[in-house]
Amino acid sequence: MYYFYMDAPETLLQAITMFSDPQRAFEAAVEFRWPGGNVTCPRCNQAKHSFVKTRRLWFCYVCKKQFTVKVGTVMEDSPIGLDKWMTAIWMLANCKNGISSYELGKVLGVRQNSAWFMLHRIRKAMQESGDIKFGGPEGGPVEVDETYVGGDAKNKHKKAPLKATPDYWFARERKIGLKTGRGTDKVPVFGMLDREARRVRAKVVPNVKREVLMDAILNTVQPKGTIYSDSFPAYASLPEKEFVHEAVNHLKEYVRGEIHTNGIDNFWSLLKRTLKGTYVSVEPFHLGAYVDEQVFRFNNRATKDNKLNDKDRFAFLMTQVEGKRLTYAELTGKGTDSLHQQTAGTGPEDEIF
């Protein structure tokens, strides 16, 4: 379901002009979060409160605490004003190839590490719940495929010392020699495209073993649905799970009637264009957030059946900032484990622009 806010800015110039006024930015943020002005306390969910106009906050009579429009959203505890936050949300929602933290920092007049933190918090809001299964009630066709994110083997020196470069993506790969395809140590990403709904689900996976891919498919695709894939052996057991499975061998052909994976391959090209062109170097620890960003823009693009524009994408993203929180400790991996490396993310150095 999409929410439309009539006064949402249609262009970046309108966004900057509109949100540069603190009162208009505040009123817009309130309308997005509490349509119709039905403000409730984010802590106790009660509507018994008073508004402190001079400070733009509310005092809840039930839990005896103050709250602002940022509390309970990805913007919580941020000293950065709503004018910068909402402009950044507009830009990330509508820039097809993303925007780097260096560029956003220059545009908004904030430090690069602050912009980096802002972007990751917005990507948190871009995450989809995944409650609705693909394939539809009648089991429509779903394309599945996996891809690998990392540097090209031709650009790596076989004998380069491991400590000579900061991108430790390929540490083991340099030891054992240059390899390409599924034999590399690149980070695998698994994706599925619902052809009828024209929507994508994608996520970083620890590996492309059969049990991992089957688990993702069973959790996402309706039972007895139709699945199209390439000839990767991990998909061979789909008929045993009562799916209708057709595969295309890319060594011989790419299309056989309706059987192909061109739709999900198109999404991979968009994702890699963003990673290689804008973000350049992304740690595996953070890769999932960048995948979520591209999934959001792909699923909310303009189509013949759904005439979305930049205003609609921004308005919809503003409705998703509530109920999601990302702390700096969580973002940088302090006290957490990564699926793909022993050392978690170290901070804003993963982007080069």
Q: Per-residue pLDDT tens for 70-120?
A: 999 999 999 999 999 999 999 999 999 999 999 999 999 999 999 999 999
Residues 76, 155: one domain?
no
| Extended beta strands in the chain, E state | 49-52, 57-60, 66-67, 141-149, 187-194, 199-204, 226-230, 244-248
For residues 280 and 157, which has the higher predicted lDDT (pLDDT)? 280
Q: What is the mean pLDDT of the chain?
A: 85
- pLDDT given at position 270: 96
Residues 82, 152: one domain?
no
Rg (alpha carbons) of the chain, rounded to whole number: 22
Residue 20 has pLDDT above 90, yes or no: yes
Residues 205, 247: one domain?
yes
Looking at this protein, which amino acid is placed at residue 215? D
Residues 340, 232: one domain?
no
* Distance between first and last Cα of the chain: 35
Instruction: Say what percent of the chain tops pLDDT 90.
Output: 71
Exposed/middle/buried for residue 352 (C-beta within 10 Å: 0-12, 13-18, 19+): middle
Residues 263, 291: one domain?
yes
- pLDDT given at position 306: 80
Give the C-alpha separation, 268 to 252, whole Å: 21
Residues 316, 254: one domain?
no
Query: Which of the listed residues 265, 280, 304 is the one where a domain comes to its end?
Result: 304
Residues 195, 286: one domain?
yes
Residues 26, 155: one domain?
no
DSSP labels, 278-325: II----HHHHHHHHHHHHHHHHTS--SS----HHHHHHHHHTTSBT--
Residue 183 has pLDDT above 70, yes or no: no
DSSP labels, 11-46: SHHHHHHHHTSHHHHHHHHHHHHSGGG----TTT--
Residues 290, 198: one domain?
yes
pLDDT digits (tens, 9 = 90+) for 188-247: 999 999 998 899 999 999 999 999 999 999 999 998 899 999 999 999 999 999 899 999
pLDDT digits (tens, 9 = 90+) for 304-330: 878 889 999 999 999 999 999 999 999
Give the C-alpha separation, 303 to 28, whole Å: 27
- What CATH number does the domain containing 257 carry? 3.30.420.10
Residue 352: helix, strand or coil by DSSP?
coil
| 0.95 surpassed by pTM | no
Give the C-alpha separation, 328 to 334, whole Å: 9
Residues 285, 336: one domain?
no
Residues 239, 323: one domain?
no
The pLDDT confidence band at residue 140, using thresholds 50, 70 and 90, is confident
Into how many domains does the chain fold?
A: 2
For strands 226-230 and 199-204, give the pairing.
unpaired
Q: Token pair for residue 162?
A: 């491991």
- pLDDT given at position 164: 37
Instruction: Tell me, yes or no, whether 282 lies in a domain.
Output: yes
Beta bridge partners of 194: 142, 199
Residue 192: helix, strand or coil by DSSP?
strand
Domain that holds residue 168: 141-304
Q: Token pair for residue 118?
A: 């802002």
CB atoms within 10 A of CB 202: 24
Largest Cα span, the chain? 70
